[in-house]
Structure 1
Amino acid sequence: MPRRKKWKSGNVVEIELDDGSFSYGVVIEEPLVAFTEATFTERPEITPKLFSEVAFQLWVMNSAIGKNGWPVIGDVPLKELSIPDAKFYRHDIISKKFYHYVDCTNDIPSTREECVGLECAAVWRKDHVEDRLKAHKEGAVCQWEESLRAENKA
């Protein structure tokens, strides 16, 4: 069985929200995707400027993009983007210890306080990302984001 085609860095995906508006994501490096701050009623020009303000960056499941997920509608050169490095934390539920990632691969022992405000090192489903984008647009709290916050871990 052939392996699924990987996304490429710089791929831009279009995400239709349930209110008919659109958000956009850019693949930084699979599975990391950065999502636009703004939402749109019509497709904007696909340029690096589209990602001048990023709402958040998440690790996203492979199934979220492509055949049964968000369509890839273009590409932008990553070297022209000024997106800050993603910062994640993880919580070991057995040892109750916290860690944070500097380069998304090596974890460093940390405290809960140092992890507050960082994204949880979790891989998000397509529908959960859409819920979060909608909540972000509305200025509301997303239940999935809330459940993953470091301050809610014991």
Structure 2
Amino acid sequence: MKKQKITQGSILEINIENQYYTYAQILDKGGYVFFDYKSETRLTDFSVLEDKPILFIIGVYNDVITQGHWPIVGKMNIRQNLNSQPMQFIQDALHPDRFEFYNPNTGESTPATKEKVKGLERAAVWEANHVEDRIRDYYNGVPCIWLEDDLELFKD
């Protein structure tokens, strides 16, 4: 794996169990957008991603990129609607009934209720294999083990 630099707009190729490829893009402030697109062949025209739905937006450990685990295969402009990342939530580990909104654009957090944060992504930084599990599980139509706590937390 070759060393790579984290550069906004770069397109990352994610090989899922040598069966298919999916793609993500590096956003500003440590965010990564993962597109709802998979292909058995490598993508060469990245413009196909411009109108694809978004699976999720999360943080990923830097070494996933810098160590070349997911190769940078191209670059494209970041969609206008992704210039500002969506709010996330934080759950207090010592007081699990306390929640905060987390703004990944500013790093600020503000108090919130469980009801208000429902549907938001938990503020976290993900390992490559956990992201790959999440993508695989999505396409297999099964719940992701790494989201089990959140599914349990918000089930009603």
Q: TM-score range by the shorter chain?
A: 0.7 to 0.9
Are 1:99 and 2:100 counterparts?
A: yes
Distance 1:77 1:9, change over 3 A: same
1-structure distance, mates of 2:43, 2:80 = 17
Give aligned pairs, total: 149
Match of 2:46 in 1: 47
Name the % identity: 25
Are 1:65 and 2:68 counterparts?
A: no
Shift of 1:30: 4.5
CA contact (8 A) 1:100 1:109 kept: yes
**Alignment TM-score, normalising by the size of structure 2:** 0.83
Match of 1:23 in 2: 22
Say what the alpha-carbon RMSD is for the aligned residues.
2.4
Runs of at least 5 residues in structure 2 that lack an aligned partner in the other structure? none
Match of 1:117 in 2: 119
Distance 1:82 1:44, change over 3 A: farther
CA contact (8 A) 1:6 1:30 kept: no
Distance 1:106 1:6, change over 3 A: farther
